Structure 1
Amino acid sequence: MSLTLPRWTSTASARSPEGFESFYKDVRGRLLLQTYALTGDLHASQRAVRDALVVAWHHWRKVTRLDEPEDYVRPLAWARAQRRSSARWWARREDVDAEARATLDALGKLSGTQRKVLLLTHLTSLPVDRMAREVGVTRATAERELQTASAQFALHRGVPSAAIRTVLEALAPDAGQVRWPRPSILMRAGSARRRAHTTIGVVVAVAAVALSGSLVTDAAGVRPELASKGILDGSASPTPTRAPAPPPPPPDPLTPEALLALDQVVGAYPGQWTEGTTSTNTEGDGLVFTCQAHRYADTKGIGALVRTFTAAAPAASAPKATGPATVGQSAEASADVTAAEKTYRTTVDWYAGCESPRVQLLATRRVVGVGDEATLMVLRAWNDPATTQVVGVARTGGLTTTVVDTRPAPKEPGAEPPDAVLESSAELLATAVTGLCTLPDHGECAGAPQLEEASPPPVGRHPELLVEADLPPVPGVTQPWVGTRASKVQDNPAATRCDKTTFTEPGVTGARTRTFVIPDAAELPPEFGLAETTGALPRKQAQRFVDDIRSSLDGCTDEVFGTDVERLAQEETGPRDLSVWRLTVEVSEKRSVRYLMAVVREGNAVAQLSFVPADDVSIGPAAFIALAHRAQERLGQLTSP
Structure 2
Amino acid sequence: MKDPEEFDAFYKDARARLLLQAYALTGDLPAARSSVRDGFVLAWHHWRKVARTGSAEAWVRPHVWQHAHRRHTARVWHREKGLDPELQATLEALGQLSTTQRRVLLLAHLASTSMPELAREVGMTDEAAARELQHATAQFSLHRGAPSTQTSLLLRRLESVTGEVRWPRASIVRRAGTTRRRTHTLVGAVATVAAVGVAGALLTEPAGLRPTLDRAALSVPSAAPTTPAPSEGALAPAPEAEPLPEAAMVPASAVAERVPGQGWSALETTDNTAGDGLLMPCRASRYADPQVVDALVREFSVATPGGSGPKAEPKRLAWQATEVSRSRKAAKDGFRTVEGWYSGCTQGRTQLLRTSTVQGVGDEAVQMVLRNWADPVRTYVLGVARSGRYVTTTLTSVLGNSVENPPGNAELLAEAVDALCELEPGGACATGRVRLAPRDAEPVGDAPRLLVETDLPPVSTVERPWVATRATRPRGGNPAATRCDQTVFTGKVGGQPVRDASTRTYLVPGAKLPVEFGLSETVGTLPARQAGGFVDTVRRKMASCEDRELGSEVVSTLSRSNGDTELHAWRVSIEVSDDTVVRYDMAVGRVGGRVMQVAFVPTPQVQMADGAFAALAERALERLRAAP
Instruction: State the TM-score, normalized to the length of structure 1.
Output: 0.60
2:367 is equivalent to residue 376 of structure 1: yes
Change (3 A) 1:243 1:308: closer
For residue 593 of structure 1, the aligned residue among 582, 604, 625 is: 582
Change (3 A) 1:621 1:607: farther
Q: Deviations over 1:111-133 (max 9, x none)?
A: xx9xx79xx9xxxxx9xx99xx9
CA distance in 2, matches of 1:562, 1:267: 59
Number of aligned positions between the proteins: 418
CA distance in 1, matches of 2:582, 2:437: 41
Could you say which residue in structure 2 is the equivalent of 1:625?
614
Q: Deviations over 1:78-126 (max 9, x none)?
A: x99998xxxxxxxxxxxxxxxxxxxxxxxxxxxxx9xx79xx9xxxxx9
CA distance in 2, matches of 1:256, 1:613: 51
Could you say which residue in structure 1 is the equivalent of 2:35?
none
CA-CA distance at 1:554 after TM superposition: 1.1
Map 1:363-442; keep pairs closer than 5 Å. Answer: 363-410=354-401, 417=403, 421-442=405-426
CA-CA distance at 1:345 after TM superposition: 0.4
Could you say which residue in structure 1 is the equivalent of 2:6?
none
Change (3 A) 1:282 1:571: same
Tell me if the contact between 1:269 and 1:324 (Cα under 8 Å) persists in the aligned partners.
no
Tell me if the contact between 2:460 and 2:605 (Cα under 8 Å) persists in the aligned partners.
no
Task: Tell me the C-alpha RMSD between the 2 structures.
Answer: 3.7
Could you say which residue in structure 2 is the equivalent of 1:583?
572
Secondary structure of the 2:357 match is strand
CA-CA distance at 1:638 after TM superposition: 4.8
Could you say which residue in structure 2 is the equivalent of 1:446?
430
CA distance in 1, matches of 2:223, 2:294: 29
CA-CA distance at 1:403 after TM superposition: 0.2
Tell me if the contact between 1:596 and 1:610 (Cα under 8 Å) persists in the aligned partners.
yes
Tell me if the contact between 2:335 and 2:391 (Cα under 8 Å) persists in the aligned partners.
yes
CA distance in 1, matches of 2:297, 2:412: 16
Secondary structure of the 1:278 match is strand
Change (3 A) 1:638 1:306: closer
2:258 is equivalent to residue 268 of structure 1: yes
Tell me if the contact between 1:482 and 1:519 (Cα under 8 Å) persists in the aligned partners.
yes
Secondary structure of the 2:612 match is helix
Tell me if the contact between 2:443 and 2:627 (Cα under 8 Å) persists in the aligned partners.
no
Change (3 A) 1:80 1:531: farther
Tell me if the contact between 1:576 and 1:603 (Cα under 8 Å) persists in the aligned partners.
yes
Change (3 A) 1:624 1:139: closer
For residue 496 of structure 1, the aligned residue among 479, 482, 491 is: 482
Change (3 A) 1:621 1:554: farther
Q: Deviations over 1:472-492 (max 9, x none)?
A: 011211000000111122121
Tell me if the contact between 1:378 and 1:391 (Cα under 8 Å) persists in the aligned partners.
yes
CA distance in 1, matches of 2:95, 2:223: 52
CA distance in 2, matches of 1:552, 1:583: 12
Which amino acid letter does the alignment assign opposite residue 633 of structure 1?
E
Unpaired stretches in structure 1, ≥5 consecutive residues: 1-78, 84-112, 121-125, 143-200, 209-241, 318-322, 412-416
Unpaired stretches in structure 2, ≥5 consecutive residues: 1-69, 98-171, 180-221, 228-236, 309-313
2:445 is equivalent to residue 460 of structure 1: yes
Change (3 A) 1:81 1:510: farther
CA distance in 2, matches of 1:311, 1:561: 59
Which amino acid letter does the alignment assign opposite residue 627 of structure 1?
L
Secondary structure of the 1:626 match is helix
Map 1:16-35; keep pairs closer than 5 Å. Answer: none
For residue 533 of structure 1, the aligned residue among 486, 509, 522 is: 522
CA distance in 1, matches of 2:346, 2:224: 45
CA-CA distance at 1:137 after TM superposition: 5.0
CA distance in 2, matches of 1:315, 1:81: 37
Could you say which residue in structure 2 is the equivalent of 1:518?
508
Map 1:192-591; keep pairs closer than 5 Å. Answer: 249-250=238-239, 253-269=243-259, 271-313=262-304, 325-410=316-401, 417=403, 421-447=405-431, 448-490=433-475, 491-506=477-492, 507-522=497-512, 524-591=513-580
Could you say which residue in structure 2 is the equivalent of 1:606?
595
Secondary structure of the 2:332 match is helix
Which amino acid letter does the alignment assign opposite residue 530 of structure 2?
Q
Tell me if the contact between 1:324 and 1:405 (Cα under 8 Å) persists in the aligned partners.
no
Q: Deviations over 1:244-300 (max 9, x none)?
A: 755963356311010001222222236321210000112222111111111111121
Secondary structure of the 1:587 match is strand
Secondary structure of the 2:577 match is coil
CA distance in 2, matches of 1:387, 1:245: 48
Tell me if the contact between 1:596 and 1:621 (Cα under 8 Å) persists in the aligned partners.
no
Map 1:68-107; keep pairs closer than 5 Å. Answer: none
Change (3 A) 1:141 1:427: closer
Q: Deviations over 1:379-399 (max 9, x none)?
A: 011122211100000010111
CA-CA distance at 1:526 after TM superposition: 2.1
CA distance in 2, matches of 1:351, 1:496: 32
CA-CA distance at 1:578 after TM superposition: 1.3
Q: Deviations over 1:14-38 (max 9, x none)?
A: xxxxxxxxxxxxxxxxxxxxxxxxx
CA-CA distance at 1:620 after TM superposition: 4.1
Change (3 A) 1:243 1:387: closer
Which amino acid letter does the alignment assign opposite residue 473 of structure 2?
K
Which amino acid letter does the alignment assign opposite residue 473 of structure 1?
P
Which amino acid letter does the alignment assign opposite residue 381 of structure 2?
V
Secondary structure of the 1:606 match is strand
CA distance in 2, matches of 1:365, 1:324: 25
CA-CA distance at 1:301 after TM superposition: 0.5
CA distance in 2, matches of 1:509, 1:345: 28
Could you say which residue in structure 1 is the equivalent of 2:605?
616
CA-CA distance at 1:564 after TM superposition: 2.4
Change (3 A) 1:437 1:580: same
Q: Deviations over 1:318-375 (max 9, x none)?
A: xxxxx97112100011111111111100011100111100000001110111111100
Stretch of structure 1 that moved more, 362-371 or 551-560: 551-560
Change (3 A) 1:546 1:526: same
CA-CA distance at 1:602 after TM superposition: 1.4
CA distance in 2, matches of 1:451, 1:438: 24
Which amino acid letter does the alignment assign opposite residue 386 of structure 2?
R
CA-CA distance at 1:527 after TM superposition: 2.1
CA distance in 2, matches of 1:281, 1:623: 38
Q: Which has the larger radius of gyration?
A: 1
Change (3 A) 1:249 1:140: closer
Change (3 A) 1:605 1:374: same
Which amino acid letter does the alignment assign opposite residue 407 of structure 1?
V
